[in-house]
Structure formats: C-alpha cells, structure tokens
A and B are shown apart, each in its own frame.
Chain A
Amino acid sequence: MRGCGARASGAGFYSGAVTDWLTALVIGLAAVACVVCAVLLARDTPAQDRTFALLAAVEVAVVVQLVLGVVALVRTDDPVEGVLFVSYLVGNLFALPVGVFWSLAERTRAGTAVLLVATFTVIALQARLETIWGAAGV
C-alpha cells in the first residue's frame, strides 16, 4: 500500500518523520497501558495513580497527534479523506477520558476491564488512521 515510490517522503503514515514517530509513540504507550490493565484485571486490582498517569501520557500524545495530524492534512497533496481523517483524530481524544470516568464509578474488575477496552480502542483507531492516510497515498 504505502511507499510505492510515488511520494518523496517514502513510507510514512502521515507525511513526515515526526508524525510517524508520534504514531509509534501513541501505539507504544497505549500497548504498555493495555498490558498494565490486563495485569490489573488478572490480579483483580483496581487501577492506581501510576496507571492513570500512564493513561494521561497516552492522552497527551493523542492530543499532540490531533494537532500534528491536522497540520499534516493541510500540507499534504495526497487526496486524503479529510473529514474522515479528522473525525478519527477527534474520536481518538474521547476514548480514554470517557473510559476513565466510566471506570472510576466502579473500582472493580469491571472498571478495570473498561480501561482495557479504552486503551485497546486507541490502538485500533491508530490502525484506522494509518489506513485512511495510506489509502490516499497509493
């Protein structure tokens, strides 16, 4: 799909090294959060401050991604479906905060499972963002 030689930037998710790096960071952080939540779930331990700090870090990366994603969208010459792309970037902002508040109301295994689903949603949305961007670069 990507990097067919048509684009000077090569195999980029978005258009440059910064956004590539950022996507990798979001996926990496979310994956760590996912594993942490899975461990908490298995141990039946409610999430503590450290876990929420990790989730906050993922969220910050997601916010930065929204900004850089929109900048990349404005700059690119590829026919990326803008509305679709931005709606995924924005949707990405909500997964974690909503998940955290929904889980805080019940600090049980079910609450921890919500956190796991929320972090997994972030990873799934990264895959979609990459597909949307990649589809235009072919």
Chain B
Amino acid sequence: MRPVSEPATTDDRASLSSGPGRTLVFVYGVFAVAATGRSVLQLATEAGDAPLAYTLSLVAAVIYLVATTCLLLGGRTAWRVAVVACSVELVGVLVTGVLTYTAPDLFPDKTVWSHFGQGYAFLPLVLPFLGLLWLRRTRP
C-alpha cells in the first residue's frame, strides 16, 4: 500500500476532498474527463458545424476541470475558485437548458448541458447544487 499522503484529514487542505467531498470529486472527475474528451473530439473533427455548441462544450469541460482540481487541492483560494466554478456551472446548465428548449436552432449538436443535461441523466443539473452545498459546509 502507498503511504498516506495527507498528514491529517482534519487539515484544511484535505477537507474538501474527504468525506462526501471524496464522492463529489470522483463525480466531478468523471464529468471533467467526459466533457474534455467530448469537446476535444468535437473541436478536432467538426469545429465549424456548431460553433456555439462546441464552444459551450469546451467551457463546460474547463469548468469541470477547475472544480475537480480545486476540490482536490483544498485550501482557502481553491475553495473560492471552486465557488465561482460551481456558480458558473449552475448558470451555464440553466441557461443552456432553457436555450436548447426555446431556441434549438442555436444548438445543432449536443453539449453536456443541453436540455439540462438530459443525455447525462440530468446529473449536470444536480451536480452544481451538490457542489455549492458541499462548499457551504466546508467554508474556511
């Protein structure tokens, strides 16, 4: 077995990714990988087809990556950045969700946030709420 890397779990730095935070980090990580993979593929193969959708995919990917990293790092600054990331994520999924219903022409191809994350079992809609709740509980 590898040695325990954090000296103490009560430590400020470790607290964001322990307990419920551990599960949250994993879910965010899965979405970070999924969204990054999707956007890289989309931009590499068919960037011109749906610029708005693919840009949004990329934004979503970056948000998930930032949130995952901040939760992993822990600490005061990371906590603040994570709050911003989760807030942007919440606004993003809500706005994109509404737009994909009201103005579907804007989105010829899907993004993670299309139809409030329908293609991902609506987890993208639930995730920012869970993230913000967790950050509220771990306020430094």
Contact = CB atoms under 8 A, between A and B. Distances in A.
Interface residue tally on A, bucketed by range: 20 to 34
Interface of B: 4, 18-23, 25-27, 29-30, 33-34, 37, 41, 45, 120-121
Contacts of A117: 23, 26-27, 30
B41 A83 contact: yes
Given A87-B37, A87-B41, A91-B37, A106 B30 contact: no
Given A102-B26, A114-B26, A117-B30, A108 B41 contact: no
Contacts of B121: 124
7 smallest CB-CB distances across A and B, nearest first, come from A113-B23, A110-B22, A114-B26, A110-B23, A110-B19, A106-B22, A114-B23
B27 to A, nearest CB: 6
A83 B41 CA distance: 8
Q: Is the interface of A mostly helix, strand, loop or mixed?
A: helix
17 contacts: A87-B41, A91-B34, A95-B30, A98-B29, A99-B26, A102-B22, A103-B22, A105-B4, A106-B22, A110-B21, A110-B22, A113-B23, A114-B22, A117-B23, A117-B26, A117-B27, A118-B26
A137 interface: no
- Specify which of A94, A95, A103, A110 lies most central, judged by the most chain B CB atoms within 10 Å of its CB: A110
Nearest to B27: A117
Contacts of A113: 22-23
Q: Is the interface of B mostly helix, strand, loop or mixed?
A: helix
A112 B76 CA distance: 28
A111 interface: yes
Interface of A: 83-84, 87, 91, 94-95, 98-99, 102-103, 105-106, 108, 110-111, 113-114, 117-118, 121, 124
A98 B20 CA distance: 17
A37 to B, nearest CB: 12
A87 B121 CA distance: 21
Given A87-B37, A103-B22, A110-B18, 16 more contacts: A83-B41, A83-B45, A84-B41, A94-B33, A95-B30, A98-B26, A99-B26, A102-B22, A105-B4, A106-B18, A108-B19, A110-B20, A111-B22, A114-B26, A117-B26, A117-B27
Given A110-B23, A114-B22, A121 B30 contact: yes
A83 B25 CA distance: 27
Contacts of B19: 106, 108, 110
Nearest to A83: B41
Contacts of A87: 37, 41
Contacts of A118: 26
